[in-house]
Structure 1
């Protein structure tokens, strides 16, 4: 969810690990897409602790989790197309992903210890809940030159993802299962061009997306009592989810196809012009990293146990509250306050190269 600020359509974004931009300046379309996607992320996280959420909420949860992270990852890949291993690019990668990961891993550990789990371990190799995305994006970007070199990068990445889903002994370090299983979306983003986004924004795709989404919702409603949403987390191998190991490969392909189709449907309806949400889209990293404190804090305060939350109106209120909170956390005032930990400028720690040509 990437660094979310590094999913930027312009080179002027601070903290962007790759300044590649297919068009001059910031494109409001991508900022709008990031904002709408982070709202879905926050709403999904707010639905998780709902007691007895019911089949309708589970349906929406399944539908949203099919594509909301794939959208982010594809956009991350799209704006990483020119990433290489030059020192200045690697340094930006460290300051925009590694440093925020370390800071927030410590912050969330302290939060857990202060709110009821005093022995909560600090384990840098085991990302806390939503922090898995930062090391994942770091590793994906480091492999960019490979995917830009091989002949069939998307097919190869799907093989890697399928192997990850078939294998259950990878271990939990840096949540490598997710790194492997979400990899094809990043590689797909590397292959995308401006014309592909123009295509999904066409009138024909926009019209077709309506029945496609309705069918997807109906399929999700049917699947809720018959399957587990854990497949969508890409955190486990097939055997860990109670299925034969070989099913990991076809499920990987099925989920990839569904995610790409629904991502296209989502992107088809993203506004292309500059709106009130456009500026918020530049701060999605802040909303992503900070909204976890709000969700976990509400759980600690037993707010999800209130009687009204179990009603349809209460569930709507929770959804709207999650959208409002993450919107606030993406706003410029919040970004100004937390900029030094989310997008640190660490020029003092960078080795100065006396020979500019060496870069």
Structure 2
């Protein structure tokens, strides 16, 4: 979920993307904190509303920052150290932690992502295929991505690397790949920012109406149509409809994100840290029944859990937490890679007839 340019050559960070990632991460953590409270109509509706767009938004941003990925040696190193290694570490950690705290007795299988780690496995696969999608015209790439997603939605393939989600979320990654800076600038138009408010309000109202009429699994993108007990035509219609809703809500959300630096902009660099760590807190609370008390199922309790989620996200994206976990989030591992040395051009000695006297110019000629 980092913003650094995929080729490692990017200059500076864009406050807009850091703001967007931080705000979306707050929604992710709050949404996971709500899981034990979904018996409430309001919480279930908010849960569906957030899940309809917060992961598609992250995935599109990830695709956008994968535009220059062509598997250069340095890019390959960063893909392994920044995605594969954290996946191995946290897939192992979550499995063992669940076995100890909740007595789950799960086998350690690195091919079956558990809980949060599916995103890292998916990002690894998506980024490896980025050159393929970018080689196509945008409409071909997006169309083919949707075709692949529909096949994944129709057939359960979740046994390996959670491929149900990898395939069903693929179109959002490909859309991010084909976006250009000018597309993000469209969100700054005044009319777009004004329209974003009623669009988000309408989305929240539809989510409230949907309680009892649809399952929230359509927003999770991790079940086949057979598992959701719908026919092929209904499955196609639901995938297209939920995708359209996700794109519209993502655009509305982004339209309201500040483009200037704010007090939380710097926290946007720590979203991967918050994503991978908050699950330990949320799952422990669920396993231990911390939210089973009647108070947490009242409006005041639901607001308190929401505040807990927001606060947890802010703490886990803070600089001290990022520095402490950097060895596992962003390990250097120079010992494991043999990257080509950067060749610097040698200074050429100028010919005598072209040498510039020290008194003739702004300084002594250096031959370069």
Residue 279 (str. 1) matches residue 266 (str. 2): yes
1:328 aligns with 2:320: no
Contact 2:16 2:260 in 1 (8 A): yes
Does residue 1:90 correspond to 2:81, yes or no? no
Which of residues 139, 143, 154 is equivalent to 1:166? 154
Change (3 A) 1:167 1:120: closer
Residues 263-274 of structure 1: pairs in structure 2 closer than 5 A:
263-274=250-261
2:177 aligns with 190
Match of 2:37 among 50, 65, 71: 50
User: 2:74·2:339 contact (CA, 8 Å) conserved in 1?
Assistant: no
1:66-77 pair list within 5 angstroms: 66-77=52-63
Instruction: Work out whether residues 37 and 43 of structure 2, in 8 Å CA contact, stay in contact via their aligned partners in 1.
Output: no
Residue equivalent to 1:14: none
How many matched pairs?
A: 342
The partner residue of 1:132 within 105, 110, 118 is: 118
Matched residues in 1 for 2:227 and 2:141: separation? 28
Deviations 1:245-286 (A, max 9, x none): 332222211111111100000000101111111110000000
Moved more, 321-330 or 249-258: 249-258
Contact 1:51/1:305 (<8 A) preserved: no
Deviation at 1:351, TM superposition (A): 2.4
Instruction: Answer with 1 or 2: which has the greater Rg.
Output: 2
Corresponding position: 1:305 with 2:276: no
Counterpart of 2:333? 346
1:100: which partner in 2?
A: 86
For the aligned residue pairs, the C-alpha RMSD in angstroms reads 1.6
Deviation (angstroms), 1:354:
6.7
Residue 246, structure 1, aligned to residue 233, structure 2:
yes
Q: Distance in 2 between matches of 1:72 and 1:354?
A: 34
Counterpart of 1:19 in structure 2 is 8
Which residue among 215, 228, 232 is the counterpart of 1:228?
215
Q: Deviations over 1:19-43 (max 9, x none)?
A: 365xx42111100000000000001
Counterparts of 1:137 and 1:30, CA distance in 2:
18
- Stretches of structure 2 lacking an aligned partner (at least 5 in a row): 345-368
TM-fit CA distance, 1:287: 0.2
Distance 2:52 2:249 in 1: 8
* Alignment partner, residue 156 of structure 1: 144
Q: Give the direction of change, closer, same or farther, for the CA distance of 1:141–1:352 in structure 2 (3 Å limit).
A: closer
Q: Does 1:119 align with 2:105?
A: yes
The offset of 1:356, in angstroms, is 6.1
Q: Does 1:79 align with 2:68?
A: no
Task: Compute the TM-score of the two structures, normalised by the length of structure 2.
Answer: 0.89
Structure 1's unaligned 5+ residue stretches are 12-16
Gap change, CA 1:116 and 1:256, over 3 Å in 2: closer
Cα gap change, 1:27/1:352 in structure 2, threshold over 3 Å: closer, same or farther? closer
2:279 to 270, 292, 297: 292
> Which aligned pairs between 1:194-209 and structure 2 lie closer than 5 A?
194-209=181-196
Counterpart-to-counterpart distance in 2, 1:297 and 1:354: 47
